[in-house]
Amino acid sequence: MTGLRGWLLASLWLGLAVHPGRAQLIIAPSVVDAVLPVSNNRGLTVGVNNAGSTELNCSISITHLDIQANGLPVVSQSDTRSCRDWLTVSPTEFALTPRQDRRIGLTVKIPKDAGGGYYAMLAISAKPIAERDPTTTGSGATLRMGYLNYVPILLTIPSPTMKAALEPQPPQLIDVGPDGFGVAVAVRNSGTLHARLEGALEVRAENGLVLDTLSLGSGYLLPEHRREYAARGGLRLPDGTYRLTCSFAIQGQPGSRRSEHPLIIRDGRPELRELSAADRAALAQTALGFRVSTNTLGLRLGAGSTRTLYAELVNLTDTPLPIRATVVEWVRGPDGQDRCGTFEPTHGRSLGPALTLRQPTLTLAKKGRQRVPLSVTLPAGSRGEYYAAVRFDRADRAASEDPAQIARRAALVQVYAEQTAQPAVRVDRLEVAPNPRSGVDLALSLTNTGNVGLVPGVQFEVYDERDQLVDRFALPAGKLVQAGLGAVLHARCETALARTRHRFVALVGVDGRSRPTATPVELDLGATPAVGGP
């Protein structure tokens, strides 16, 4: 499966919008989910549209369907609940002129002993019809992109015994580095019918206070299959004890499957297990007991102006807590790790002198929430963006002085002087290496050379020996890179590439524009890692 094919497949299955500018062939519906009684061998239809400006030759085939643990549907060689041999498609080959629609007919012949869920995959491929321009002479080469779209087919044949039997497994923690941790839950369907599941995760303090409610995602789970549902966004919680509640509901049906699990966080490290007497004694001395719920505060402010921001604290205990606040520096490292303390900030853009605490000490009521006012006065002549933090500590106990631990109990403040932005980025180098398990790992180092923080948009392109594009993929939106500092962004090309020489290019977007790295990287797969830069 090529990267572009995989992108199209993931888009269709997950319900993402497929823009005509990126995919010329548009299929509707993206998933065929139908209920067909044995006695009713009616037909089904799928619409195909050429959204581009080039005529396409199209062909259609039907294959077995399988679902990977990550939820991505793939072509399979066989499957115990396949309906591939029940289906006949017409037409199998046709041409589409630009903007033309075509209806594809599927005839279904259901065996008399069928009951429950059955599955297949419709594969629709399209290639542009080459046209020679009579006004040109000489020779040349043109890259014409082909398309391969997959449409999962899910048939339900009613029977008295059909059902989806869900077996959620114990949750697993996902390390997302400086952003905290996520939670993944594998669910197996041991029944005879598919289900579209919606998963949710609720995090509570020991006193029952709800701290976070996150989605575990949604998607189809086929019979005799196992799929992972995950909340990959970082959970940032202070040391203490918590309860995780995982719930799964079948779309369109009342009720849900729920399970509760104990969570312990010590020295910033989470574990899913019951609290022992030794844990309780240790946490009684080190648990913070409160949470900074507004971890990042941003503000646009005219130079010479004053404004008030508010950080929110939440008491996770049943007793009042004495709290002390202190202004400190804030720096985000290349690894994305936030660090706070009294050091000299490497970005040289400290907001500390402009930040005033209006309430440096307070008592946080039991199970209470309280907003803490912070006053910012931006000096005249300020340009760009400035950074600082307010750390919060228990006044009745000592806490870790590690800069990363301080950041976990701080409100991070960034203030931008209005109409003074000068965004700029320098790409320092791109490292490419085969991954021992699968795919190719990429590491892009860049520096924010402007005067404002930015979240760079990054897209990678992969070309083969003939300089033909074989994959294109974008990094998900990342974290802020502070002005004057750098970051290392990591990605993986999952496409199955031929073990020959390939060229990798990174396109970095700033202020709506994209530009490539100074030196694209070439890598001979199976050979040594490659590095490129200015």
pTM of whole model > 0.85? no
On whether the CB atoms of residues 181 and 270 are closer than 8 A, the answer is yes
Q: How confident is the model over 272-317, as pLDDT tens digits?
A: 998 888 888 888 777 889 999 888 999 999 999 999 999 999 999 9
DSSP β-bridge partners for residue 29: none
Is the pLDDT at 141 greater than 50, yes or no?
Answer: no
On whether the CB atoms of residues 117 and 65 are closer than 8 A, the answer is no
| Alpha carbons 1 and 63: distance in angstroms, whole number | 14
pLDDT at 137: 37
Q: How confident is the model over 315-366, as pLDDT tens digits?
A: 999 899 999 999 999 999 998 999 999 999 999 999 999 999 999 999 999 9
Using DSSP's 3-state secondary structure scheme, residue 13 falls into helix
Using DSSP's 3-state secondary structure scheme, residue 6 falls into helix
Q: How confident is the model at residue 14 (pLDDT cuts 50, 70, 90)?
A: very low
- 348, 409, 351: which is closest to 375 by C-alpha? 351
Q: Give residues with Cβ within 8 angstroms of 213, minimum separation 6.
A: 200, 201, 202, 203
Q: How confident is the model over 409-420, as pLDDT tens digits?
A: 999 999 999 999
The b/e string for 352-361 (b: 16+ C-beta within 10 A; e otherwise) is: bebbeeeeee
DSSP β-bridge partners for residue 385: 416
Q: Which range, 10-14, 35-39, 179-183, 323-327, has the best average confidence (pLDDT)?
A: 323-327
Q: How confident is the model at residue 29 (pLDDT cuts 50, 70, 90)?
A: very high
Q: How confident is the model over 38-95, as pLDDT tens digits?
A: 876 668 999 999 988 888 899 999 999 887 777 777 787 777 899 999 999 999 999 9
What are the two backbone dihedrals, phi and then psi, of residue 88, each rounded to the nearest 5 degrees?
-125, 135
pLDDT at 215: 94
Q: Comparing 138-152, 345-359, 443-457, which segment has the lowest mean pLDDT?
A: 138-152
| Alpha carbons 104 and 92: distance in angstroms, whole number | 9
Chain position carrying tokens 């660090």: 339
- 290, 291, 308: which is closest to 299 by C-alpha? 308
| Alpha carbons 378 and 269: distance in angstroms, whole number | 38
Q: Tell me the average pLDDT of the chain.
A: 84
What beta strand segments (E) does 97-238 contain? 101-108, 116-128, 147-157, 166-168, 172-175, 181-189, 195-205, 210-221, 225-235
Is the pLDDT at 530 greater than 60, yes or no?
Answer: no
Q: Give residues with Cβ within 8 angstroms of 506, minimum separation 6.
A: 427, 430, 442, 444, 458, 459, 460, 516, 517
Q: How confident is the model over 190-229, as pLDDT tens digits?
A: 999 999 999 999 999 988 889 999 999 999 999 988 999 9
What are the two backbone dihedrals, phi and then psi, of residue 81, each rounded to the nearest 5 degrees?
-120, 40
| Alpha carbons 209 and 105: distance in angstroms, whole number | 54
Task: At 488, list the tokens.
Answer: 């290392």
Percent pLDDT > 90 in the chain is 51
pLDDT at 275: 83
What are the two backbone dihedrals, phi and then psi, of residue 78, each rounded to the nearest 5 degrees?
-165, 165
| DSSP secondary structure code for residue 525 in this structure | T
Helix or strand run (H / E) with residue 329: strand 321-332
Is the pLDDT at 134 greater than 80, yes or no?
Answer: no
